[in-house]
A and B are shown apart, each in its own frame.
Chain A
């Protein structure tokens, strides 16, 4: 099956039905391995065992941003090609991206208290991630407010494209401003600054969460396609009854 074939909702449903079970199983196996790696990872010489919060916090941050990236590409699909599957992708991604951003914020706060002595500071990194979370809530609210899915998709797409400006701000906030949050330590020019004994469990955890993100997105897209079918049939029912 070519990737272009998946643009057809019926073919996408078949693909999702086939893929979700084994991808879900693979995700569970990878999570078991990731948890084992997290438990056996050594304590950090400065942070002690609290470094284990990083295995949740960092994937949460990456996937929160990835979610908005997916929605940005989908927004272009909505506005340029007016493709219904782009609308479906955008709508299905928003709650998942919001969930991972919330996970990043909460775990970051719980990591900050023992390390910084505070749950929260209004520095550029933390604030820009909070803005991302609020943008997610805004897009979800927009989808729920506008009845017509096509109109809602266009409005959400515009908000998504505007909100995409927050992604480089999040990424470079630690370079542009003086923040309490540490600078980039994995994706940076030069080698990562994290020791391999902690970096490897982090990457395994990130891979497990990324697979989970993919499974959740496929399943949420399947739900959204079914919801649109239900809506179409109800409209058909109403028109025939009238």
Chain B
């Protein structure tokens, strides 16, 4: 009886920990994709960092 009642708390604790870790991983992955998308969009508009432009100029030369 006691073991069965403890099981509920153990499962809930592991589920909560999984939810926290899952949320952190999801936040980081979604954020990473969003930043890459934003950078690609800006590059498509021809806006690049100075170091990026310098590299492009060198390649053209």
Q: Which residues of A contact B (CB under 8 A)?
A: 10, 48-50, 52-53, 56-57, 60, 95-96, 99-100, 102-103, 106-107, 110-111, 113-114, 212, 216, 219-220, 222-223, 226-227, 229-230, 232-234, 236-237, 240
Interchain CA distance A142-B23 in the complex, whole Å: 21
In the complex, the answer to whether A219 meets B28 with C-beta atoms within 8 Å is yes
Which residue of chain A has its CB nearest to the CB of B45? A237
Interface string of B26-58 (1 = CB under 8 A from A): 011001100110110010010111010000000
21 A-B residue contacts at CB 8 Å? A10-B51, A49-B3, A50-B6, A53-B13, A56-B17, A95-B24, A99-B20, A103-B20, A106-B16, A106-B17, A106-B20, A107-B17, A110-B16, A111-B13, A114-B9, A216-B24, A220-B28, A223-B31, A226-B39, A233-B42, A233-B47
In the complex, the answer to whether A230 meets B9 with C-beta atoms within 8 Å is no
Interchain CA distance A112-B10 in the complex, whole Å: 11
The total of Cβ contacts below 8 Å across the A-B interface reads 88
In the complex, the answer to whether A49 meets B32 with C-beta atoms within 8 Å is no
B2 within 8 A of A: yes
In the complex, the answer to whether A53 meets B38 with C-beta atoms within 8 Å is no
- Which of A49, A52, A113, A230 makes the CB contact (< 8 A) with B42? A230
